Each structure stands twice: as C-alpha cells, then as structure tokens.
Amino acid sequence: MPWLSYQKALNRALSDELERDPAVFVLGEDVRVAVSNVTAGLERRFGPDRVLDTPLSEQAFTSFATGAALAGLRPVIEFQIPSLMFLVFEQIANQAHKFSLMTGGQCRVPVTYLVPGSGSRTGWAGQHSDHPYSLFAHVGVKTVVPATPTDAYGLLVSAIRDDDPVAVFAPAGALNLRADVDFAELRPVPLGLGRVHRDGTDLTVVAIGHLVHDALAVAEELAAEASIEVFDPRTVYPFDWDGLAASVAKTGRLVVVDDGNRMCGLAAEILATATEFGLSAPPARVTRPDGAVLPFALELDRAVQPGRAQLLAAIQGVLKNR
C-alpha cells in the first residue's frame, strides 16, 4: 500500500471535498503558492475562484467567510500560525458560532478553520508556538486535533461537511508522520468519537494530538510492568465522554498528557470529569506550565513542553497506588 503523510492527508481531504462539493472553497494568506504545502496544487486544479489568496487581515477574511457560509457556501480558512486564531476569536466564538444558536437553527455557518502546524515548531518562539485548542473547546466551538494521517483526512472531511463552525488544529509535531494506507479506504471520521490506539487494563493515558505517539512509546516501554491503554479523543469538543468512561471503568487509573497550559487547560477538565466516573487512584496530568511562553532556544523550548520523561514519571506515580 502507498504511504500517506499527515500533510498530504490534509491536502487530499481538501482536494476531495473541493471535487465533491462545488460550494467548498479555500482561502487564506498565500494559499495559492501553498506556503504550508497543505494547499499544494489546488489552484491549478480548481482555479483562482475557489482557492483565494487574501489580504493580511485575518479579522476581515474570517468575517467574509462567515458571510459566505450564511449565503450557502462552505469556506475553509487556512491560518499559517496558531496565534492568528487569537486575532479572530471574536469572529469565530461570538459571531459564526452563535448564529445558529441565536436563530434556533435557522442559520447555518459551515466554516472550517484549519491550522496546519499548531504548537511548537523549531525556533518559532513565543508568538508562533501556541496550541490553543482548549480555548475554542471552552466556548463550545467544535474542535478537533488529529493525531494520525488517516484521522487528519477523516476529521478534516467531517469538519468541512459539518453545518457548524469547526476548528481543526493539526499539531506541528505530527506533520511529518507517515502511514501505510489504502487510499480507497479513507473515510470521514465522525466528530465526537474517540479512538483507543492501545488496549490496556491497568491505567488509561488520554493523549491529545501528536502526544498520542509519545504515549504509545511510553506504554510500550512499560509493557513488562503494566498494561497501559492509550485513548485519543480526536475531537476535544464535543468530547467522547462515553469512550473515556468505558476506558477508565476498565483500568481505574488515569493520566492525561496535553500540550496546553496547566491552568484551565483541557487536561484539568478531563481529570475533573473522570473523577465523576470513579477512579481507583488519584489521577495525574502532564502539561505545559501555567502561562507558558515557549522560548526561542531549542533546549528551553523542549523543556517547557510535555514529554515522554514527564509522562513516564506520572504513570509510574499513579501506578504506585495499585
């Protein structure tokens, strides 16, 4: 079977949806020259009317996309860096997200907001390394963080087809991943449905995005000591609470690894909700520190982010309560 990279999966999803639905179009800064490679070849195939380069005004073209969606189109906006999402938070959370709610479902705003490279990238420093998916989950915007190439394809397709705004955060740490895939078997992945990447009986690790692969590596490292289940929510809002409940009912123990800040982060919400299911031992979380700003220096950058050593220590700490 052919290899599919994470970036190519996003590109293929965009191409397939542009082909399938004439209402879909892509816009953003430098999307025609495909600076991120995610929109490579799309203008040549679908033309400049469906692949639009925009001025450097995120608030303007995000509001434009809301209007286009209200008029029956399905815009996909690419944001080159995650911090640009802060500039358009009002347009997304207070405008696009609320139209359907405030009109009793009479209006739909099917806009997809795609960030191909969210989180830390080498040397991008403080203003380019945020991973703010929990911010959008907090206000109720449908939000996905794919961990694998097949999920990147399937979740982006589902996001584009959804009648509500959906934010898609593609982690920088996952962009170079590749998978052996039969292209004919690529399918949409339902929003709100998690995935168990590894079955286990002693402890559940909930891992977000690229950290799924760190969790799998640590689970394998500990295989002789404990049976670790790795649960990937895939969609952080709506969260698959039923899937998590089933996992912790089996294992009784929980560790969450989340590339967001500790204070008011997604990891805190997962731990708080999981305690309502009942746990056999106090849970633990591995996150960025409170108010973290990633430094330019690579060693300091890596020190601020959650990693395998921290996850290993957290798992071993929770397992001591067996």
Annotated catalytic residues are 128
Residues ≥6 apart with Cβ < 8 Å to 283: 253, 254, 255, 256, 271, 274, 275, 318
Alpha helices, H only, the chain: 6-20, 42-46, 58-70, 84-87, 89, 97-102, 133-138, 149-161, 211-221, 241-251, 266-277, 298-304, 308-319
3-class secondary structure, 295: coil
CB atoms within 10 A of CB 106: 8
Burial class (CB in 10 A: 0-12, 13-18, 19+), 240: buried
